[in-house]
Amino acid sequence: MIILATEIAAAIYASLHSHVFEKDFREILHASLKMYNGTDTQVTKDHDDILVKTAWDKIMMEKQCCGVDSKLGEFNESGWYSLMQGRFQFPPACCPLKKNGKLMANCPTIQRYGTVCFRFILV
């Protein structure tokens, strides 16, 4: 009986505070987009930029989603955006693959996946 009461209390606590977790987690994901450098080559001695790009590309291609919230400006502080000199709003992994299975050279805003990746990551 005590275990059941504890589980119920934990469930109530989690449901009341889940919005705080979601907000914090969303902020962490947005911060990780700043590390998205858009290249497969090592830019710094730190491998995090390559790992972040690889992880985001995999999520976006497999789940057919784009960024945390699929909004204009999400990638504006990323290394990729700087590399592209602001010409594009979304990296190639945000768009469907070409018929040959490869990424497009760029991802026009109108062709990007409109689905947000946050809902897939949070699950």
* Best mean pLDDT range from 2-11, 16-25, 61-70: 61-70
Mean of pLDDT values over 26-31: 89
Domains and CATH numbers, the chain: 20-122 (1.10.1450)
- Specify the pLDDT at position 50: 76
- The answer on pLDDT for 63 being more than 70 is yes
The structure's pTM equals 0.75
Three state DSSP letters for the chain: CHHHHHHHHHHHHHHHHHHHHHHHHHHHHHHHHHCCCCCCCCCCCCCHHHHHHHHHHHHHHHHCCCCCCCCCCCCCCCHHHHHCCCCCCECHHHCCCCCCCCCCCCECHHHCCCCCCHHHHHC
pLDDT digits (tens, 9 = 90+) for 64-75: 999 999 899 999
- Specify the pLDDT at position 87: 93
